[in-house]
Chains A and B, each alone.
Chain A
Amino acid sequence: MPSDIAHTSLRLPQDLPLDSGLALTRPTIAHETLGTLNADRSNAVLICHALTGDQYVATDHQLTGKPGWWTRMVGPGKPIDPSRHFIICSNVIGGCMGSEGPASPHPDDGKPWGLRFPVVTIADMVRAQAGLLDALGIGTLLAVVGGSMGGMQALQWAASYPDRVRSVVAIATAARHSAQNIAFHEVGRQAIMADPKWKGGAYTPGNGPSNGLAVARMAAHITYLSEEGLTAKFGRHLQQGTEKRFGFDADFQIESYLRHQGMSFVDRFDANAYLYITRALDYFDLAEGFGGTLAAAFAATTARFCVISFDSDWLYPTAEARRIVQALVAAGRHASFVELASPFGHDAFLLDTPGLTDVVDGFLRAVEMAA
């Protein structure tokens, strides 16, 4: 994975304390911004990315050259609009797109941190984002918005910084990782660690455990789709122009699709970063820091919340969204919640899902009106 790309970044002026009790010395945070901060600094929207996302939410990717990952939600005329909002998206701490992570050079020897990098949590990611906002001179956020792991960060924001958030949009997410979520991640981590090129995490850049990482991505990718969606797209179709070859090449279209997903992933992602970020997800249980009562996490904030789930998402199913909503309601918060219909499973939050942009747009405009 090339690391010589120039991402926009800054070094926090202070050290970053971590949930583990360790601290990162003035970590680097890579970030992208769109739009202009208004005079009273009231139009800042923080977007939090998912496990394999990054700061290139609506700008062309420095590494792949592809358009941003959420251009359906962010851009001119979209619910989050640079003509109205000052949009910030940063690469998570522990990531591999310019923010301090296991692939970054260790301050002592300049070699990659590898497993010397401290284990980070979702709350640590949020703490790093708060440090970034401090450095950018932003006090209060109009909204913090995210899907999947980004939604967890958005919820964590309201709990960690209750008076810095006016609204939270949490899409296709959960307030904790379930046993099944952890199980799938463990399969991915074991695939990476079983690759001899992993070398206890001390692989040389460009010669990492790409086979293991590709398998991890393949397993995870299945969880982002739905059975219905897979059947519609691939069924039992064989590769074009082939018949069953009585071997183990990719006979089925779904096989070659997954292999492609795995192989293209390793070009843009660091295997150790995958270990760290999946670990952060698995450790996530928002209620844990609040005596086990989720509603208590939302007791101190006055933010408005918009929670959205998708009926075919089995990674973070509607039941988990309802759990969040019940806690919000119990805490007396203003909450909106809808389960949208989509055949595309968890990935629906990134795709053209009927109702999704209308709901987010209406919600954000109401928050702005209530200013």
Chain B
Amino acid sequence: MKGLSVRLQQVARQIPSGASVLDVGCSDGQLLAFLRNSKGVDGRGIELDPERVARAVARGLSVVQGDATHDLSAFPSASVDYAILSETLQAMEAPHKVLSELVRIGRRAVVAFPNFGHWRVRAHLAFKGRMPVTHSMPVSWYETDNIHFCTVDDFRALATEMGLRIEEQAFLAGEVPISAWPNLRADHALFVLSR
């Protein structure tokens, strides 16, 4: 998994060889290219930024320019094994609607996002009284694309409310995998969901 960030590696580990995937917010297709080249994955992607799309297509990937809010509805139900949403949930206008599209299109959904319940975030708010600017959330509140932050527990509650089954979960503290007290200790979370 050389060249892939720890977070993308965590996502890649969930995808079995030969699976079909849709990567929502796939950027320039780094994950899709990795999955294709090393696992023979049949990949598709959707990405908002045209320059990133152009780079992804130039890599020979099936990536369409579009946004998750409007353009997922065209994808047929259960048309891929895994629908992936990596590092983008918090930037969605309506995360719950995107989530229901993911579990409709994919037999499973893989959702990875930064955890706003991490102790450093809590400390930042508690002691500084300011919106946190941390390693995993490096942009100030007024110019960040991340408009819908949530915590690990928030996400679990949403999944329950939507009647989704949590098939797998994995957490990172920096680059280190952890399992105990993830809502407090993990700065990054991954869930595999099914309907």
Q: Which of B60-68, B111-119, B145-153, B174-182 binds A?
A: B60-68
Interface residue SS majority, chain B: mixed
Main secondary structure of the interface of A (DSSP, over half): helix
Specify which of A322, A336, A341, A369 is in contact with B63 (CB 8 Å cutoff). A336
B74 touches A338 (CB 8 A): no
* Contacts of B39-76 to chain A: CB distance below 8 A: 44, 50-51, 53-54, 56-66, 71, 74-76
Q: A332 to B53, Cβ gap below 8 A?
A: no
Interface residues as binary, B143-170 with A (CB distance below 8 Å gives 1, 0 otherwise): 0000000000000000000000000000
Residue of A nearest to B54 (CB): A355
Contact status A337-B64, CB under 8 Å: yes
Judge if A157 is at the interface, Cβ distance under 8 Å. no
* B53: min CB distance to chain A, Å: 4
**Nearest Cβ in chain A — how far from B149, in angstroms?**
30
Known: A330-B74, A334-B44, A338-B65. A306 touches B79 (CB 8 A): no
Counting chain B CB atoms within 10 Å of each CB, the highest count among A322, A336, A341, A367 belongs to A336
Residue among B59, B61, B65, B76 having the largest count of chain A Cβ atoms under 10 Å: B65
The minimal Cβ–Cβ distance linking B60 to chain A, given in whole angstroms, is: 3
Kindly state the separation between the CA atoms of A237 and B144 in the bound complex, as whole angstroms.
Answer: 44
Alpha-carbon gap, A365 to B62, bound state (A):
13
Answer whether A325 and B60 are a contact pair too, CB < 8 Å, given A339-B50, A341-B50, A355-B54: no
A366 to B71, CA, bound (A): 24
How far is B71's CA from A342's CA once the two chains are assembled, in angstroms?
A: 24
Complex: A340 Cα to B65 Cα, angstroms? 10
In the bound complex, CA of A329 to CA of B57 (Å) = 16
B75 to chain A, nearest CB (A): 6
Q: Which residues of B contact A365 (CB under 8 A)?
A: 60
- Tell me whether A362 and B74 are in contact in the complex, defined as CB-CB below 8 angstroms, given that A336-B63, A338-B50 are known contacts: no
Q: Mark B62-94, 1 if CB is under 8 A from A, else 0.
A: 111110000100111001000000000000000
Bin chain B's interface residue count.
20 to 34
Q: A359 on the interface (CB 8 Å rule)?
A: yes
Which of B59, B60, B66, B79 makes the CB contact (< 8 A) with A332?
Answer: B79
User: In the complex the two chains form, is A361's CB within 8 Å of B64's CB?
Assistant: no
Chain B residues near A332 (CB, 8 Å)? 76, 79
Known pairs A329-B75, A332-B79, A334-B44; A369 contacts B54 (CB<8 A): no
Most chain B CB atoms below 10 A, which of A304, A329, A362: A329
A335 within 8 A of B: yes
How far does the alpha carbon of A304 sit from the alpha carbon of B54 in the complex, in Å? 16
Closest to A354 in B: B54
A363 part of interface (Cβ distance < 8 Å): yes
A358 close to chain B: CB less than 8 A: yes
Nearest Cβ on chain A to B71's Cβ, whole angstroms: 7
Q: Do the beta carbons of B50 and A336 come within 8 Å of each other?
A: no
Task: List A contacts of B63 (CB < 8 A).
Answer: 336-338
0/1 string, A21-62, CB within 8 A of B gives 1: 000000000000000000000000000000000000000000
Given the interface contacts A306-B57, A362-B57, A363-B57, does A334 sit within 8 Å of B62 by beta carbon? Answer: yes
* Closest residue on chain A to residue B47 by CB atoms: A338
State how many angstroms separate the Cβ of B102 from the closest Cβ of chain A.
15
Question: Contact at B50–A362, with CB atoms within 8 Å?
Answer: no
Contact: A340 with B50, CB < 8 Å?
yes
Contact B54 A338 (CB under 8 A): yes
CB A365 to nearest CB in B, in angstroms, measures: 6
With A334-B62, A336-B63, A338-B65: A358-B75 Cβ-Cβ less than 8 Å? no
Contact A359 B60 (CB under 8 A): no
Q: Does A204 contact B (CB under 8 A)?
A: no
**Contact call A363/B64, Cβ cutoff below 8 A:** no
* Per-residue contact bits, chain A 206-225, to B (CB 8 Å; 1 contact, 0 not): 00000000000000000000
Partner of A337, one of B51, B59, B65, B75: B65
| Contact call A358/B54, Cβ cutoff below 8 A | yes
Q: Which of B44, B58, B71, B79 is the one whose CB lies under 8 Å from A362?
A: B58
Q: Select which of A322, A359, A369 is within 8 A of B57 by beta carbon.
A: A359
Is A326 at the interface (CB under 8 A from chain B)?
yes
CB distance from A20 to the nearest CB of B (A): 34
Closest to A363 in B: B57
Asked whether, in the complex, the Cβ of A336 is within 8 Å of the Cβ of B57, the reply is yes
Q: How far, in Å, is B3 (CB) from chain A's closest CB?
A: 18
Interface residues in chain A, defined as those with a beta carbon under 8 Å from any beta carbon in chain B: 304, 306, 322, 325-327, 329-330, 332, 334-341, 355, 358-359, 361-363, 365-367, 369
Interface residues of B, Cβ cutoff 8 Å to A: 44, 50-51, 53-54, 56-66, 71, 74-76, 79
Given contacts A330-B74, A358-B54, 14 further A-B contacts (CB under 8 A): A329-B64, A329-B75, A337-B63, A338-B50, A338-B53, A338-B54, A338-B57, A338-B64, A338-B65, A355-B51, A361-B58, A362-B60, A363-B60, A367-B60
